[in-house]
Amino acid sequence: MKKTSLFFACISLFLFRCGESVTNSAIISEPIICAQAGVSASSARIVLATYTSSSDDDAVIDIRTVPEAMRFDVTAFTVKAGQQVTINVINTDSQKHNFVLGKIGSLNKIGAAADALAMSNNGAEMEYIPTSSEIIKASSLLNAEEEFTITLTAPMVPGDYPYMCTFPGHWRIMNGMMKVVTE
Ligand SMILES: [Cu+2]
């Protein structure tokens, strides 16, 4: 098959998958995920956001790092306020990454603290996770193929809660949003 046909086949498959209806209580934000189609297809690797629900009350989200792309494959997901949330962070990249979830509007604040930590002597020792009251949950610094599970009760205050990788230089593009909604 020619490269161009393969490319369009990938795009078609991707759009088809994005068009599937999602009926679970917590949903992946589809428009944002679909917007990644160009990036995924051009590297000839289709990256699909995954979401599985272990019960009606829990949300389980798998978030993988995209190899050599300095980004997470899930850039937004939605949960209900007060819902039990499990986030499985899977580092499928060869480079180290972490996962830090922050309070509403905290992306730049945590990012600035991460930048400062990167310049200090103990960044590596602290796994590049800055000390900040803006951080809700954080993984350890994950090696290649390493996984880390974060569990939390979704905040009761609806809004957009950013997550990011605070490894030096990553947070500005390696980030996403946990959207908390009330019914
Ligand atoms: Cu990273």
150: left (phi over 0), alpha (psi -120 to 50) or beta: beta
Quote the ligand 1 centre to 23 CA distance (angstroms): 31
Domain coordinates in residue numbering, the chain = 49-181
Quote the ligand 1 centre to 155 CA distance (angstroms): 25
The pLDDT of residue 15 is 40
As a whole number of angstroms, the distance between CA 76 and CA 132 comes to: 23
Residue 141: exposed, middle, or buried by beta-carbon count in 10 A (0-12, 13-18, 19+)? Answer: buried
More confident residue, 134 or 29: 134
Quote the ligand 1 centre to 131 CA distance (angstroms): 18
The pLDDT of residue 56 is 57
The pLDDT of residue 183 is 75
* Mean pLDDT score across all residues of the chain: 79
Residues 172, 174, 178, 179, CA torsion sign:
positive
Residue 18 pLDDT exceeds 70: no
Per-residue pLDDT tens for 123-141?
999 999 999 999 999 999 9
Per-residue pLDDT, averaged over 77-101, amounts to 97
Per-residue pLDDT, averaged over 45-69, amounts to 71
Per-residue pLDDT, averaged over 41-70, amounts to 67
Quote the ligand 1 centre to 12 CA distance (angstroms): 29
Quote the ligand 1 centre to 172 CA distance (angstroms): 10
Quote the ligand 1 centre to 66 CA distance (angstroms): 10
* Confidence (pTM): 0.72
Q: In what order do the strands lie in the sheet with 100-102?
A: 76-80, 175-181, 159-164, 100-102, 135-138
Quote the ligand 1 centre to 1 CA distance (angstroms): 35
Residue 68 pLDDT exceeds 50: yes
Residue 148 pLDDT exceeds 60: yes
Quote the ligand 1 centre to 81 CA distance (angstroms): 27
Token pair, residue 158, equals: 């609806």
Name the CATH architecture for the domain at 49-181: Sandwich (2.60)
Token pair, residue 98, equals: 């972490």
